[in-house]
Chain A
Amino acid sequence: MPCLLAGQETDTDLYSTENGYVKFVSDAPLELISAESQFLRGLVDPDKKTFAFKLDVKSLKGFNSPLQQEHFYENYMETDKFPSATFSGKIIEALDPGISDWQTIRAKGTIDIHGVTQERIIKCQIRFKGNEMEVKSDFTVLLADHNITIPKLVFQKIAEEIKVEINATLVQQEGT
């Protein structure tokens, strides 16, 4: 995890997690596929307004059959070549840990899925609670944006647009 923000000074309090929740849903005409992971890793620096999240694609479980899961890993996501998905960048709005209500902020950065990066601005809900920061977001990912090609035979089973839901509680790390 430190590698994500390597080179940055760490004299401020960082919030991090190793077990954020990610869910993805593909709602195609013929089949609804969903998968979840409890292993989203994330790091947020409220002072510098930067963030980084990373997901091991193979930690996504669920699917409708083991064969489907294997197809997903190997044929679509090509996890051998691209084992992880990342999203890192900066936060547009100022984060105020003094406010305990939900704040809507925009995370702007590069999302890397299937080895293809896209510049995105993603809206998130953030709430500070003690030494924790709760992050919630949902957004969509277009398969075409990330060069994920679906064979003609199964395209009615996989949606072109994947809905992604994130829910993570990041814990403040004690200053070093």
Chain B
Amino acid sequence: MFLKNTIFDNAQINCALQDNQGYLWFGTDAGIYKHDGLELIESFLINESLGSGVSCMIQDSRENIWIGLKNGLVLQKKVGASPLKFESDSFPQKEVTCILEGMNNRIWFGTYGDGLFYTDGAGLMRINDKQELTDNYIYDLESDDAGNIWLGTDNGINIIQPENDRIELNQLSVKDGLPDFIVQCLEKDNKGNMWIGLYENGVCKVDLKSRKIEVPQPLRNWRYGPVNDLLAIDNRICIATDGKGILSYDLNFNQNLKFIKSDNADLSRVKKLFSDKESNVWLVSQHEVSLSLGTKLEITSEIDGKEIRKVHALTTAKDGKVWFGNDEGVFCFDPKAKIEHQQLKYYSIGLDLKHQKIMSLFADHSGMIWAGTFGQGVIRLDPKTGNHIQFDEKDGLANSNILAIEGDEKAIWFATLGGASRFTINSGFGNLAFKPHFDNYGKSEGLSNNFIYDINLDENNTVWFATDGSGVIYFKNGIFKPISNDGDFSKKVVYSVESDNDGNVWMNVANEGLYLYRDEKITKYKTDSDHASTSFNGILANNNHELVMVYDQGIDVLNVHSGNILHFEKNAGLESIKPDLNTLAKDADGKVWIGTNSFIIAYNATDSTIWKNPQTHINSVKLYLENIDTTVKHKFSYDENHFSFHYSGLWYQYPEKVLFRVKLEGHDIDWIETRNNNIIYSNLSPGTYTFRVTSGLQRDFGDGDEASFRFKIKKPFWASLWFILSVISLLAIIIISYIKIRERNIQQKQAVIRDRIMFQYENLKSQINPHFLFNSFSTLIALIETEPEKAVDYVSELSVLFRNVLEFKDKEMITLQEELKIAENYLQLQKKRFAENLLIVWQIPEELKISKIPPLTIQLLIENALKHNTVSRDKPLTISIVSDIEKGYIFVKNNLQLKKEVLSSTGIGIETIVNRYRILTQKEIIIDKSTDSFTVGIPIINN
């Protein structure tokens, strides 16, 4: 794979790392970039105040990212924050070239010319070199198992032993056997060695215990230039050279040194190497980053200087050798041979292979090679002597077209276009002159079809046959039986049949793909790859519960237990490999060998980590178009309802194959399957939601890694409980107040009514006051005696008074004129009694007489004046009824000459008037009592 991004076009890449979540980070001259294999997730540019490019970075065990700059500054990026200049009084004066986390979380910094620095958390400290370091130019730092820090410098290796606060220093130099002064890189393997990459003379290793320096044989006489970086992975040391490409040195049995090549990336000047959690190897060049799938696939295009061409058949022998046949002959090589001994050995089988194609190869138990041909029978080859012998129909073979050969210690089976042949191995077998006997099986024996494409022998001595149009037939205890009598499957064309160690029988059906036969049931197996609807060219089960399936565009590996599939296509540098039908074989180590049109590929069974699902992360949550901080923000208002989610399924070996399923709980009913790495939800209604995303390689997401984000959209304020409650309480207050006011109004009205009733009562009472009656009757008697005519008048006036009182007492208001009439009438009656001793002054203008007044108000005031004051010849009483239009009052005034005996007074008289007026008008009744006069002012009410 080849990762090129425009971000790298103008800024040189200097360093890279994979963080604990699985993201990749690249440090360039412009800043640091976070990548998920497909796209850039985040970037932090180095601004001008910091000055210069990023030269190195690491992530420490506390998840901080440490960034060293070319100008010597050190930045620290804490989780979730932007990179900040590390707080320190002093910084290196020169470029920070390497960073390492040592024991006790101490971070070490190597510089290019300013020696070694470290921090324990607060400030940077410098290791003084005056007495200690042999050189201040440090290229690389590495720690060993004992916690020592190894420094690669321009003058050998310095080893720092940080014991407590004291620092002990040791050196390894040219005089100790180091092949060069300039140590450019250091890499510890898991076998107790430190590997040293040099400027000159290549690579050497140091035994960590004995500190002995050794240059392994294949690495001597180095001619590949300066070593830029080293990586120990899968029992290999990968070596990045400056100008001569990438070399891989195998630490295992054969100790070969090989070039790693890539057709689509320039690997000549790789500066840094690192491996990810999937054991892919990343190669960082100046302006591009490439990915190698590591050691899962070994792709060979030439052996012993000879190009591989159009492999028709391939097999492995017990001795580990690989045999293949093509149009040129039969060839054999030993993949475990040392590179300098690597040979491609040619064997003649006595045929013109340009016209007689090899269809199948088989290495039997005794080491003999059987080559099946198209039309020429089978050739048995003795690799020791090169002797070969041909068997065909004349020798008793069922047919001379041999499509496949399979066998064990007891027998060898041949799949032909005329049924199957079995050769039982017996004592005469070793002898070349021996004439074998073939048992042939065809339609008549129960192998219902004559065309047999493939034969497979399982652990239980069952032989499986893949037929052309009769499905799969098995042979057990001397009987042939189809696996199914089902009309449909028993008519299928099956190209290959393969049993595995788990009791499965895998069938490769023409134009349909993979079927599984297990527990007497046949199921179509969903492989879910892009070519699932077509068949494979070949299938093979290895010893690691994996089924290797080859097809024109590449190789799929199915994990039989998990159902996961790895794809090796253009991601692995394979395109249009077009393997033939019989080009799959496994060797004793479990390696699967695949012959193709231009390569021989070895697939190494993968360790369990490879089968991990892609790691799922939510990269960002956007509200409208703004990123939100998902660590703190989980609650949103009702109009913050447009969300977009961006997520990654980290799977660097083939990122394009990653599938997602997403679901917004609270919104989506079902999972949504997609290859898109983002999704938008708009107009979400208030509620609680959980966004969930799982990534995987198949539609069955199984135990796929899941990421989620829970959030809440709040109801609008007018729908929130508090708001509804306040509105209800406000309404309640309004209603209650309304009721209260209304009640008060009613009470007031009732009070008016009560006052009026009281007033009327007062009036009535006063009218029938015994005194009044007594006085009236006394006056009347006197009048009857003296002036009978006047008596009649008096009685009629009295009756007018009573009639008026009765007439007006129910009215709320009468005109002033009416009131004055009552008052006059009343005074007339009183005049009869008091004669000239009662003086009345009227002064009411005509225009006032239409104004309103509660009935009997003035009458009551006059009555009161008469009641409380002495009226005699000596002390005449003057009552004046005058108006003051300016003030708006009518004044009833009398001179004050109070009677000695207090007449029973209810006190209600004036009080009721005051109360009535309080309701009728805002003007107050004026009561003015001086030493010699008493005045009551009644407001004039105009309508």
Contacts and interface: CB of A to CB of B under 8 A. Distances in A.
B413 interface: no
Which of B154, B155, B182 has the most CB atoms of chain A within a 10 A radius of its CB? B154
B181 interface: yes
Interface in A116-135: 121
B203 to A, nearest CB: 18
Interface residues of A, number: 6
A121 B180 CA distance: 13
Nearest to B95: A119
Interface in B210-225: none
Nearest to B135: A90
Interface string B190-225: 000000000100000000000000000000000000
A106 B200 CA distance: 11
A90 B154 CA distance: 10
Interface of B is mostly: loop
Nearest to B180: A92
A121 B181 contact: no
A40 B179 CA distance: 33
Contacts of B155: 92
A166 B199 CA distance: 23
A98 B191 CA distance: 43
A119 to B, nearest CB: 8
Contacts of A58: none
A93 interface: yes
Interface in A50-77: none
Given A90-B154, A93-B181, A121-B182, 10 more contacts: A92-B154, A92-B155, A92-B181, A92-B182, A106-B181, A106-B182, A108-B137, A108-B154, A108-B182, A121-B199
A93 B181 CA distance: 7
Nearest to B182: A92
Contacts, number: 13
Contacts of A121: 182, 199
B338 to A, nearest CB: 33
B745 to A, nearest CB: 97
13 contacts: A90-B154, A92-B154, A92-B155, A92-B181, A92-B182, A93-B181, A106-B181, A106-B182, A108-B137, A108-B154, A108-B182, A121-B182, A121-B199
Interface string A66-102: 0000000000000000000000001011000000000
A92 B178 CA distance: 14
User: Which 5 A-B residue pairings sit nearest by Cβ, starting from the closest?
Assistant: A92-B181, A92-B154, A92-B182, A108-B154, A93-B181
A144 to B, nearest CB: 13
Interface string B323-357: 00000000000000000000000000000000000
B716 to A, nearest CB: 62
Interface residues of B, number: 6
A108 B135 CA distance: 13
Nearest to B112: A119
Interface in B457-495: none
A108 B182 CA distance: 10
A93 B155 CA distance: 8
Nearest to B200: A106
A22 B199 CA distance: 27
Contacts of A92: 154-155, 181-182
A28 to B, nearest CB: 23
Contacts of A93: 181
B174 to A, nearest CB: 8
Contacts of A90: 154
A121 B199 CA distance: 10
Interface string B154-197: 11000000000000000000000000011000000000000000
A44 B154 CA distance: 18
B429 to A, nearest CB: 66
B779 to A, nearest CB: 140
A71 B182 CA distance: 40
Contacts of B137: 108
Interface in B404-456: none
B71 to A, nearest CB: 14
A90 B182 CA distance: 12
Nearest to B181: A92
A92 B154 CA distance: 7
Interface in A14-39: none
A63 B155 CA distance: 41
Contacts of B182: 92, 106, 108, 121
A160 B860 CA distance: 132
B240 to A, nearest CB: 18
Interface in B359-378: none
A92 B226 CA distance: 15
A155 B448 CA distance: 77
Nearest to A119: B112
Nearest to B136: A90
A121 B154 CA distance: 11
Contacts of B154: 90, 92, 108
Interface in B759-812: none
Nearest to A49: B155
Contacts of B181: 92-93, 106
Contacts of B199: 121
A90 B701 CA distance: 60
A93 B156 CA distance: 11
B130 to A, nearest CB: 13
A39 B181 CA distance: 32
B243 to A, nearest CB: 13
A149 B433 CA distance: 79
A84 B637 CA distance: 67
A152 to B, nearest CB: 22
B225 to A, nearest CB: 12
Nearest to B155: A92
Which of A92, A93, A106, A121 has the most CB atoms of chain B within a 10 A radius of its CB? A92
Contacts of A108: 137, 154, 182
A28 B181 CA distance: 36
A108 B181 CA distance: 12
Contacts of A106: 181-182
B200 to A, nearest CB: 8
Interface string A99-117: 0000000101000000000
A92 to B, nearest CB: 5
Nearest to B174: A93
Nearest to B226: A121
Nearest to A121: B199
A140 to B, nearest CB: 13
A108 B199 CA distance: 12
A108 B154 CA distance: 9
A7 to B, nearest CB: 14
B777 to A, nearest CB: 141
A106 B137 CA distance: 15
A92 B200 CA distance: 12
